[in-house]
Amino acid sequence: KEVLDMDIQSKPSQPHWYERYLQPCVAELLGSTLFIFIGCLSVVEDTAGTGRLQPALTHGLALGLTVAVLGDI
């Protein structure tokens, strides 16, 4: 009897230990560092006319960038 390729069921492979344990930790560290670093720089460079708008926008854009880049990890 002929066996077609579609009839053979392969087991899903387990992710490598790096993808399972180390990659999420590195992504969390990188994301938190980026968020805090950009947020602190926005407060340091705050001018008198912007008030609370500049740090709020900077934190929001940093968070959006972090989620877009590291969200699938």
Q: What is the pLDDT of residues 35-69, one digit of tens each?
A: 888 878 877 765 677 777 888 888 888 888 888 88
Query: Under a CB-based contact definition with an 8 Å cutoff, are residues 34 and 65 in contact?
Result: yes
Measure the CA–CA gap between 39 and 56, rounded to whole angstroms: 8
Q: Tokens 């999420």 sit at which residue?
A: 24
What Rg, from alpha-carbon coordinates, does the chain have? 22
For the chain, what is the mean pLDDT?
78
d(CA 66, CA 59): 10
Confidence band of 2 (pLDDT split at 50, 70, 90): low
Nearest to 38 by CA among 4, 5, 69: 69
Q: Which amino acid is at 55?
A: P
